[in-house]
Amino acid sequence: MENIKKVLQQHPFFIGFPLDDLELIAKEATEVNFYAGERIFKEGDSADTFYLIENGLIALELPVANYGAVTVEYIHSDDVLGWSWLYPPFLWHFDARARQATKAIAFPSRLMHEILEKDLEFAYRLAKRVGLVVINRLQATRRRLLEATASFPLPEEKKRPDWQVLIDHVKDKSE
């Protein structure tokens, strides 16, 4: 547990968290290793773990019918993996696969939920950090979608964004 506490204190995700918080979550945390090519979780499966990546490389993948897996983002050393454990319905939204041998610390979501229910200050600190991760993942997904669809022409009726059409509609009504 001492090694885990030391990693938590130095990991960018937990910088600035009080030592008491880190000691609390370190109690049931475990060190895990994934070999290159190993699937860590699959879209739709129960999201029951939060991972702090110490070193390695993980691909977040989105399975696409008749195509295969599309890599949405790479998760590197000093990053975190998994936010779906925090929000209902507690299911993974992507697949995750180790691209290189990866060492991480795993926190069971059950423990995290227990702590979050008891300690609102910790819950607030964690929600702010996880929120940044969610925003980053959404932006990465958006970028990949834009890259993938850049060569597709828009249908004629969709040349203008919907919000512009709404503005024109409101403007016409007021005249």
* Angstrom distance (rounded) from CA 104 to CA 8: 11
Confidence at 74, pLDDT banded by 50, 70, 90: very high
Find the mean pLDDT for residues 70-99: 91
Q: In which band, very low, low, confident or very high, does the pLDDT at 44 lie, cut at 50, 70 and 90? A: very high
**Is-contact 8 53, C-beta < 8 A?**
no
Supply the pLDDT for residue 72. 85
Mean pLDDT in residue range 99-113:
94
Could you read off the pLDDT of 51-72 as tens digits, one per residue?
A: 999 999 999 998 888 888 888 8
* Model confidence pLDDT, tens digit, residues 133-146: 888 888 887 887 78
Q: Is the pLDDT of residue 173 over 80?
A: no
Distance CA 99, CA 86 (A): 25
Which residues, at least 6 apart from 146, have a Cβ–Cβ distance to it below 8 Å? none
- 29 Cβ contact list (under 8 Å, min separation 6): 1, 4, 8, 105, 106, 107
Where in the chain does DSSP place strands (E)? 30-34, 39-41, 49-55, 57-64, 68-76, 80-81, 95-98, 102-108
* Tokens encoding 140: 């990465």
CA-nearest of 150, 3, 144, 124 to 73 is 144
Domains and CATH numbers, the chain: 2-174 (2.60.120.10)
Angle (nearest 5°) at CA 55 between 52 and 61: 70
State both tokens at 146. 């834009």
